[in-house]
Amino acid sequence: MKFIRLFCLPILLSGVIAFAQTNPTQPPKAPNAKDTQQKQDEPTIRIETELVQIEVTVTDKAGKIVRNLKREDFELKEDGKAQDISYFSVGTASTPARWITTEPKAKDKDTPPKPITPTPEVRAGRYIVLTIDDLHLSFGNLVYARQALTKFVDEQVTNDDQVALITTSGQLGLHQQFTNNRDILKRAINRLAFAERRVSSNNSGVPRLTPYQAELIENNDREALALAVNEILGKMPGTPRQMAESQARGSARMIVAENTNITRATLGTLENIIRSLRGLPGRKTMVMLSDGFLLGGFSQGTTYDVRQITDAATRSGVVIYALDTRGLIAMPEAFDASQSGFGNEQPPGARMRIESAAMEANRDGLNALSRDTGGFPIFNNNDLSLGLQKIIADTETYYLLAFEPLVSYRDGRFRKLEIRVKDHPEYKVRSSKGYFAPDDKAAAKASDKDERERLKLEAEREKNPDKAAKKESAAKVALVSNAYNSLFPLRTIPTEMSVDYVDTGQGEGYATIVAHFDVSNIKFEQTNDRYNATVEVIGTVYDEKGKAVDGFSQKLSMTLKAATYDRIVKSGFLYTRRVKLNPGFYQVRLAIIKENSRQAGSDSQWVEIADLSKKQLALSSIFLASDKEAAFMGTQPNEKPEKVEEEKKVEEQQAVTIPAQISRRFQRNAKFDFTVFAYNPKVNEKGEIDVVIQTQLYLASKLVMATPPTKMQLPSEDKTAAFSPYAARMSLDKFSPGTYELRLVVVDRAANATAKRSVNFIVE
């Protein structure tokens, strides 16, 4: 479910809504640009409203997904009042529902925004966020979760899916942004580690308090307090009862405070991640793996209002599913019958009753997060893989409903949503339970504050340039940090990048970075016959543990003639760089920002640098080029990177459309070339090698093509080279649209060694 704020003329607004109501399954038609043109002296009356979008899943009595429902089958209420459904779309795992989008509110109040339109239909799989609640996972269950996730990636993730991996503790080092690369996902899963927590059940001390019992004591539960006090008196004879009670309350207070901090950190991380996904269109599935946690005061909003997560999920189109990693629980985990004194507590059986209740209480958080966002929890299931399979199956078919509230409340209060299927009371409908209405007063204060800061900064540029420069530097750092930490690329300056490995053959490995920037959104300043704009490209290379090992920054000052400006705005341009790296696995994060603005683009890619010192067979990355492109840059192993200046003045930057090495998209019936280098082939005394390569093509993990093994040769100009190149052309005239995996298998028969490389590409 998602919100769109509309700022438009009354006639335009009513026309769009009327069209949507009479054509519920069709997108609103964009009016002609001439129809929206307003004369400067013509008064403009502006109406502000909210378009609310909700994703709905419907199941029958047997729990099976109900398909083929229509708009008129649904009834939707907000705070008990029926609402008109103005837009309707059906989504599946392979074809997402078409969401409504609009341009953000223009700063110029006299300029109406572009009309609302659905997102374009694209071939796309599912967006899945695997959330590991390691703050509430025992060590054993974390190991179990790693195994289940690895199996899930191997067997259920398709080439069309985009999967991200995060932890609530942040201990993953580098959270894994959305990717369809299974090897990268499995490496991220293997990096998951147990998160040490301060909260303890205090089993070895006196009294033995679990977080749940401590919470009961804080809430003045007499039985829980009596159990703790009697334990102290039994273990420490002669202790005054009042002192024992004070000790029990003190221990409980400490445990509750520590547990509250951990739960707040968990919920805060979830909310931040979910809100960050708002810029990603369409449905997102979040799967949370956890041992569960106590809501306690959180459910009443005294410490943290859980409805904030419901609101975030509603606005971002996120559905949460919870998987209890404890599986089937037969006995309370904190205490068992083998412990001394078990069954002799006073009051009798109190500990068992409390801990049995604690098992259910720990499920409250998982219940609330999943059921209030349209998902469901899975409890008492010892097969986590089966649980993940059930969750993914639930995304097979869903419905997107949109409505414009009859009364646009803008008071910041929570609005309750109810949806049912008419004439089918037996159907179960799952959707978001509500959202917080916009708060105009809070928005106005924030806007005023931003405007004051902007004016203050402009004044400081003239009076105190050094102070202004520090503020601008801090703002740039924050913008880059946001770009680096986003789960998906920022798109105000659309950026796409490839990072590939190539070696000189002598153990000098390089990451070849090629980025394409779409600058059509950037405002250029015109001076005489030149168009001027300055952007800064910032990159950081991290090792697998999240430590920065290299970085670079370069300003690009574009001073363009009209013809070049037109080409660049239409086609974009390339940025290339090589970074020398030691053997290892690295992630490159790249950001581009426009000087003195909030416009930014970003991307991130992983690359593996082989260790040729081991004298084992290794492969470079696979380099792609369409048959209309020249041999792609950066594929010659013996090329040395040129020195890159920190600031570059671009007089006539060459406009270039996005190359195949980055986009990896080809039209059906097209052709493309691919190149790879094999390092450390075994050379015999005659200066010959016995190395063969096979090209394999996979669709949905199924082999659809394999060539006969082809012999590789050393470079004809250098028989002493430590690498062997291979290039070939592939024709796509027999392949249907889809996401394919090109896999190259190289076998050194003389050394009895095998190496593999693969790359995904899309046939459109």
The gap from C-alpha 67 to its chain's centroid, in whole angstroms, comes to 28
pLDDT bucket at 636, cuts 50 / 70 / 90: low
Supply 666's token pair.
Answer: 């080809």
Each residue's pLDDT tens digit, 709-748: 999 999 876 666 789 999 999 999 889 999 999 999 999 9
**What are the structural domain ranges in the chain?**
2-121+397-438, 127-197+264-390, 441-483, 486-763
d(CA 365, CA 292) in angstroms, rounded, equals 7
What's the confidence (pLDDT) of residue 346? Answer: 61
- Residue for token digits 């080409």? 567
Q: Mean pLDDT for the chain? A: 82
What CATH code is assigned to 486-763?
A: 2.60.40.3880
* Residue 108, pLDDT above cutoff 70: no
d(CA 543, CA 546) in angstroms, rounded, equals 5
Identical fold, 127-197+264-390 and 486-763: no
The pTM for the full model equals 0.81
- Residue for token digits 């040129």? 642
- Secondary-structure class of domain 127-197+264-390 per CATH: alpha beta
Each residue's pLDDT tens digit, 457-507: 667 677 777 777 777 788 888 888 888 888 888 889 999 999 999 998 888
What's the confidence (pLDDT) of residue 719? Answer: 62
Residues 42 and 141 sit within 8 Å (Cβ to Cβ): no
Each residue's pLDDT tens digit, 115-143: 444 444 444 578 999 999 999 998 889 99
d(CA 370, CA 319) in angstroms, rounded, equals 7
What's the confidence (pLDDT) of residue 34? Answer: 36
Beta-carbon-side half-sphere exposure of residue 49 (alpha carbons within 13 Å): 18
Each residue's pLDDT tens digit, 302-327: 668 889 999 999 989 999 999 999 88
pLDDT bucket at 196, cuts 50 / 70 / 90: low
Higher pLDDT, residue 38 or 513? 513
Instruction: List phi, psi (to 5°) of 284.
Output: -125, 135
What's the confidence (pLDDT) of residue 159? Answer: 84
- Nearest CA among 706, 713, 709 for reference residue 692: 709
pLDDT bucket at 429, cuts 50 / 70 / 90: very high
Q: What are the residues facing 318 on neighbouring strands?
A: 284
Residues 724 and 682 sit within 8 Å (Cβ to Cβ): no
Supply 67's token pair.
Answer: 């398909």
Which long-range contacts (C-beta less than 8 Å, at least 24 apart) are formed by 18-26? 20/86, 20/87, 20/402, 21/84, 21/86, 24/70, 24/71, 24/72, 24/85, 24/86, 24/87, 24/88, 25/70, 25/71, 25/88, 25/89
The pLDDT of 68-96, averaged and rounded, is: 92
Task: List Cα–Cα distances, 278 to 2, 153, 271, 283, 374, in angstroms.
Answer: 8, 25, 11, 10, 17
pLDDT bucket at 691, cuts 50 / 70 / 90: very high
* Residue 11, pLDDT above cutoff 60: no
